[in-house]
Amino acid sequence: MKDVIRFIVGLGNPGPQYDQTRHNAGFDYVDALARQHNGSWKTDTKYQAETCSITLSGEKIWLMKPMTFMNRSGQSVASFANFFKIPAENILVAHDELDIAPGSARFKKGGGHGGHNGLRDIIACLGNNKEFYRLRLGIGHPGNARDVANYVLSKGPVEDRVCLERAIDCALNNTSQAIDGQWSKAMNNLHSFKAE
């Protein structure tokens, strides 16, 4: 895989009541990436999102936090990608992942939505195109499907939060390789990491 990333989206819900909830792991990642590269967020009403640009590996990369709430994330992503003519293969979406334990993260290309409503809406709004990249940030599973909604919208215990932050740090350290299209290397480095 040699695809070069031009657009990185972090998924989450807007508003202080959702800060540091499990569902906002994607926001946490792009916030950290913006801080690391001196990006400055601005509200972009055209796309119903906060956006900024950074320079990474010598390339201009757009960052986005959709402000539409999770279930409508695709509206912001697709309108931005269409305007700037960014194909799905050049998009990386960072999101919380129930099937991975806190402290682990994975890069992946393509696939379904796995029940994640943000991914579901992005796939639909991109014309059923699933070929964008994902950064899956582990939050663990509550154990019962009935508990998922409350689980993702709540804050985890301190130890889980620390593990997530360490996984985000590891993802940040491997993002430049992903940007360059060195996916196998970035995937292997991230796959072998587990926060203690």
Q: What is the pLDDT of residues 118-140, one digit of tens each?
A: 999 999 999 999 999 999 999 99
d(CA 135, CA 53): 19
- Residue 4: the pLDDT is 87
Average pLDDT, integer, range 52-71: 94
- Average pLDDT over the chain, rounded to whole? 94
Tell me the C-alpha distance between 153 and 147, whole Å: 10
Q: Which residue has the tokens 């409350």?
A: 150
Q: Which domain holds residue 23?
A: 7-191
Averaged over 24-34, what is the pLDDT? 98
Angle between helix 117-125 and 73-83 (nearest 10): 40
Tally of structural domains, the chain: 1
- pLDDT, average across residues 49-66: 95
Mapping DSSP to helix (H, G, I), strand (E, B) and coil, where does residue 184 land?
A: helix
CATH number, domain of 89, equals 3.40.50.1470
Q: What are phi and psi of 154, to 5 degrees?
A: -115, 165
In a domain, 1, yes or no: no
DSSP structural state of residue 181? T
- 191 as an active site residue: the answer is no
**What is the rounded radius of gyration, in angstroms, for the C-alpha atoms of the chain?**
15
Query: What is the model's pLDDT at position 6?
Result: 94
Asked if 68 contacts 76 with a C-beta cutoff of 8 angstroms, the reply is yes
Residue 59 placed within a domain:
yes
Mean pLDDT, residues 13-33: 97
Catalytic position from the list 23, 113, 116, 191 = 23
Identify the band that residue 41 occupies on the pLDDT scale cut at 50, 70 and 90.
very high
The mean per-residue pLDDT over the stretch 133-151 comes to 95
Query: Do the Cβ atoms of 41 and 50 come closer than 8 Å?
Result: yes
The rounded distance, in Å, linking the Cα atoms of 109 and 187 is 10
Alpha-carbon distance of 94 to 26, in angstroms, equals 5
Residue 62 within any structural domain of the chain: yes
2 occurs within a structural domain: no
Q: Is 178 helix (H, G, I), strand (E, B) or coil?
A: helix
- On the question of pLDDT at 1 being above 60, the answer is no
Tell me if 196 is assigned to some domain: no
